[in-house]
Structure 1
Amino acid sequence: MAEKEAENNQVASRRVVSRRKSHLVRNLLIALGMLLGLYALAGFLALPWWLERSLPEQLDQRMGWQAEVERVRFNPFSFSLEADAFSAKDADGEPVTAFDHLRVNLSFLNLLRGIIGFEEIRLVEPDVRLDLLQDYDINYARDWRSANPEGEDATQTKTAEKGNPPRLYFQQVTIDGGELLFRDFSQGGDPAEFRVAPLDLTLNDLATWPREGSDSQYSVMAALGEQVIEWDGELSVTPLYSAGRLRLSGLRHDTLAHFLAPYLPWQLRDGTVTLESRYELAGGDRFELITSDGNLTIQQLALALSAADDQPALATETIAVQGIGFDLTAREATVGMVSIEQPSLAASRNAEGEVDWQASLATAGTDQSETSEPASDLGEPFRWSVQGVELSGGQVRWRDQVPETDADIAVNNLAVTMGGLSHRLDEPVSYDVSAELGTGGRVTAIGQLTPAPFTFEGALSGSDILLPVIQPYVADAANLELVDGRLGFDGNLDLDAQDEPLTGTFSGTAEIAGLATRLPGNGGELVSWELLRLAPVEFNLNPAR
């Protein structure tokens, strides 16, 4: 009986322990459920409610902006945050930034490893206003400084410098259908406005700490009307490294004129620019920048020397530059072939002997000398080279007001071919030039020259050049009027400017056919002949003989 009673007590004891365990598990499950419920309530309801009210307050305190957000959602289980219909106005009541939708998805596994990781950041149709102020400040930086005391800003900066930068990881960042309004107040007067739309960006696999063989991939596309910027490649933040391709297509003359106004002394009237290049840059002990495979195309260029000119002084159909390369560390620039099609150049000299192009360049040089600082000694000299230049279908018009009667000379069908040019200015450069005069006749020259010290060697020839075209210059030197006559010549010209003064010799043949001269004012015939031929003829420049 005693044994049976002991056995019953053991069974009862086991049942009590089992009931206690089941109650404990149930209580734990209930507690866990309650915690999950509270966590879900805090994530789904409390946090969005707090953000909807806190975000405008923080922007008001930190930036001085009046902000609104229509709705904020947070999923505490997927760590994703979404916001809809955000907008903000600055202290002047002007819209400064807005977006239709924002989605941020945190990576919980990366947080366990001490990394702030974002699986996705997606911004849909942001609308941003960026102002370049008159003192070259940015409106965002101005608003921040206005809303934050200088002492607090300095303290925060020192605190940030003491700690190590956080480890951030961005798996995918996307800007979809953005719009950027850029306003430039830096040049005074009414601001120039540029609206970039659409603005699309894609960035993948970006980290703020060094990783072996893992560079981020990025792609940017922005359009300003028909002007398009395309930029793609790879990026590393630590160490700083980027390589890729940049293409600017269809840039209009008015856009370029605005940004080049402080540096360009002339007026851009027309033209579009397309530029593309591959690049590679790296930061470290020494900043490195290398560009390669660059191409530049300028279409329908029209340039005037001043705003008062009715007609452009320079116009071209096409300028194409191929094979552009640059190496900052090696201090070297290379250019392939330069092709210029149908250029038209107008130049004039006023009664005081001042050439308009020279005067405009002299003015630009004076302005730059007043503001620029002397260049520092950079050691190794800069090296450059150009493979060659080809010019076709050119026109030149020269008007000279120095003579008593204005001289007006036109050159048509100008063609120029030049060989390689480089920083080695003492090396010879080959050339081939041909042109037709507007009044009749043709001139050709072929040979080589050296830029510095200047030397010139060439075979020159001319045929059927009408002499009356130089009548304004003859009238200043002699009481004579050229009525008719045609000049022809064929020979070699050598010039040498290694020592002052310039010396040179022409040797060859020359002839003047159908010459007719008379006294000015419809005077009688003075000298005429059918043909005068000099073979050979030699002319020495200095001393003249």
Structure 2
Amino acid sequence: MHGSSLGQFGNYLREKWASPRRVRFWLLVLIILYTLLGFFALPWVIQYVAVNTAKEDFGRELRIESVQTNPYTLTLRMNGVALNDKDDRQLLGWGNLFVNLEWSSIIDQTWTFEAIQIDKLIIQEERFASGETRFSRLAADSSGPESEKKESGKEEPAEMPALRIRDFKLENGVLRFADNLKDVTAADDAEPKQVSLALQNIGLSVKDFTLQNDASFPLRLNGQLTKGGKLAFNGTFQLLPSPALEGNAEINELAFKQAAPYLQQFMNVQLENGTLTLNGKMSTNAQQPFAFKGSASINTLNIKEASNDETLLGWDSLKTEQFDLNIANNEIETAPIVVKGLSGRVVINQDKTTNFGQLVVDAPADTKDDTSKSEETKPFGITIEGVELSDGDIQFSDNSLPLPFSTSIHTLSGEVSTLSSDSSEPARVKLEGEVAEYGLAQVTGTVHAWHPTRQTTVNVRFR
């Protein structure tokens, strides 16, 4: 009886539940559930989890305009995203995000993305006078007991997930940075001066990104500063075991005026004009913080004194075909520097001080003490393979004489031989220019740029 009962039960399963008609029905049910969950439930879950995580773990408000998923193509679209700081200032956001996950990820146990595309990414960072930034504050707010355990060494760091991104692309990105600079000469309670910088039209392209050690992948980056200047990089990037970047870098007509507030922290000058252009190879890795080798030029520079708005130093163009910067060795080397249209004003006051000597900003006493206590760093070794001048114009005044003397030297041309901070040999100077309307000025001799008071012998002849 027992065997016949099992047989009857098996026949019942085949006829009622395992029949082709029943199998097709349950498959249809599963497809419908998969479709409903993938197209309708999953977007709601993603949006709910993201918004609540931002609120509970970070204490910030996250807004998402729409989320769309396709369970058959494994794609995700997340549009109109904005994350605000506690003061309702936007931290980051984007217009459109598209993610395409490959089906092979299920089999290979590797998160493999065919494409990740972000359009109109916006990042807004700000550094406060205290040194804290918006994103460092965000990271601090997200730390908890689990992170404290990891920091104490009680838990081993988790292994990096197996990840591959075949094509990552960022278009129309914007990076805004606000810096609150404290005036070193003002009182402690003085309001800081805010400086704003912005890099727009950012484009970033990465191919075959992985988290494997010693794996490098192609990277292209470009952007434009809102106040003048374009940046571009084309090379390779390595993330693990330590970040490394190598390739061709270009800075085109970067406006110096954007750096004026930082320069004014140390010198009483106005940086009116001037653009920087660099083109060459750069690299940075664990052993080399930064290295660059290529051509460099600074054009239309105009530095004025802050007190009287008169030109202090400038030129039409300054260029060298070879500029080598090596941070690891603290070295700067250049080929001959060609300067055209040099302009300057040198004034010796009645008390024998000069207009150049009065430019340095006096820092508070406590700042000077902190600086003196800091560890000494190796000075940069600078070697310049000569300077060639043409069509210069120098204004010179000496008010310390019984009869004050003032003149102008124009069409100043000539050359200075190799200047080196590592050499005891002074540089040879040979310059010639016209004085006023009919005079002639000749400057010959030797000068050591780093020890001018000890190794300078200059003959000046006016005729």
Q: Taking structure 2 as the reference length, what is the TM-score of the superposition?
A: 0.83
1:455-474 deviation line (CA, Å, top 9, x unaligned): 6789x7957x2xxxxxxxxx
Alignment partners' CA distance in 2, 1:101 and 1:449: 61
Q: What is the match of residue 185 of structure 1?
A: 180
Q: What is the match of residue 340 of structure 2?
A: 341
Structure 1 residue identity aligned to 2:335: G
Higher relative contact order (CA 8 A, sep 6+): 2
Alignment partners' CA distance in 1, 2:312 and 2:383: 28
Q: CA RMSD in A?
A: 3.4
1:225-263 deviation line (CA, Å, top 9, x unaligned): 342121221111124322112222222232021343334
Q: What is the match of residue 418 of structure 1?
A: 416
What's the % identity of the aligned pairs?
A: 18
Q: What is the match of residue 49 of structure 2?
A: 54
Alignment partners' CA distance in 1, 2:348 and 2:426: 31
Q: What is the match of residue 314 of structure 1?
A: 313
Contact 1:250 1:274 in 2 (8 A): yes
1:300-339 deviation line (CA, Å, top 9, x unaligned): 211123x221212112111223311133444433211211
Alignment partners' CA distance in 1, 2:456 and 2:314: 29
Q: What is the match of residue 260 of structure 1?
A: 263
Distance 1:46 1:107, change over 3 A: same
Structure 1 residue 370, shift from structure 2 partner: 4.2
1:10-58 deviation line (CA, Å, top 9, x unaligned): xxxxxx89x7699455544443443333222221111111222332222
Distance 1:403 1:289, change over 3 A: closer
Alignment partners' CA distance in 1, 2:166 and 2:278: 31
Alignment partners' CA distance in 2, 1:446 and 1:434: 9
Q: How does 1:479-518 map to 2 (within 5 A)?
A: none
How many residues align structurally? 440
Structure 1 residue 376, shift from structure 2 partner: 4.5
Q: Describe the SS at the equivalent of 1:77.
A: coil
Structure 1 residue 126, shift from structure 2 partner: 2.2
Distance 1:145 1:332, change over 3 A: closer
Distance 1:215 1:224, change over 3 A: same
Q: Does 1:296 align with 2:296?
A: yes
Q: Does 1:45 align with 2:34?
A: no
Q: Does 1:109 align with 2:104?
A: yes
Alignment partners' CA distance in 1, 2:41 and 2:283: 48
Q: How does 1:60-459 map to 2 (within 5 A)?
A: 60-146=55-141, 148=142, 150-155=144-149, 161-187=156-182, 188-210=191-213, 215-225=216-226, 226-239=228-241, 240-283=243-286, 286-287=287-288, 289-293=290-294, 295-305=295-305, 307-361=306-360, 363=362, 370-372=369-371, 373-376=373-376, 383-427=381-425, 429-438=427-436, 440-445=438-443
Distance 1:364 1:150, change over 3 A: same
Alignment partners' CA distance in 1, 2:204 and 2:86: 29
Contact 2:17 2:23 in 1 (8 A): no
Contact 1:199 1:221 in 2 (8 A): yes
Q: Describe the SS at the equivalent of 2:104.
A: helix
Q: What is the match of residue 26 of structure 2?
A: 31
Q: Describe the SS at the equivalent of 1:191.
A: strand
Q: Describe the SS at the equivalent of 1:358.
A: coil
Contact 1:185 1:191 in 2 (8 A): yes
Gaps of 5+ in 2: 1-10, 183-190
Contact 2:16 2:22 in 1 (8 A): no
Structure 1 residue identity aligned to 2:75: S
Distance 1:105 1:259, change over 3 A: farther
Alignment partners' CA distance in 2, 1:254 and 1:449: 32
Contact 1:62 1:144 in 2 (8 A): no
Contact 2:409 2:441 in 1 (8 A): no
Gaps of 5+ in 1: 1-15, 466-545
Contact 1:122 1:175 in 2 (8 A): yes
Alignment partners' CA distance in 2, 1:296 and 1:263: 25
Distance 1:330 1:66, change over 3 A: closer
Distance 1:374 1:51, change over 3 A: closer
Q: Taking structure 1 as the reference length, what is the TM-score of the superposition?
A: 0.71
Structure 1 residue 88, shift from structure 2 partner: 3.2
Distance 1:22 1:77, change over 3 A: same
Alignment partners' CA distance in 1, 2:154 and 2:114: 29
Structure 1 residue 341, shift from structure 2 partner: 1.1
Q: Describe the SS at the equivalent of 2:400.
A: coil
1:206-243 deviation line (CA, Å, top 9, x unaligned): 111125xx521111221123421212211111243221
Q: What is the match of residue 527 of structure 1?
A: none
Q: What is the match of residue 4 of structure 2?
A: none
Structure 1 residue identity aligned to 2:84: K
Distance 1:393 1:364, change over 3 A: farther
Alignment partners' CA distance in 2, 1:163 and 1:169: 18
Contact 1:410 1:439 in 2 (8 A): no
Distance 1:462 1:126, change over 3 A: closer
Contact 2:66 2:80 in 1 (8 A): yes
Contact 1:441 1:462 in 2 (8 A): no
Q: Describe the SS at the equivalent of 1:128.
A: strand
Alignment partners' CA distance in 2, 1:322 and 1:367: 43
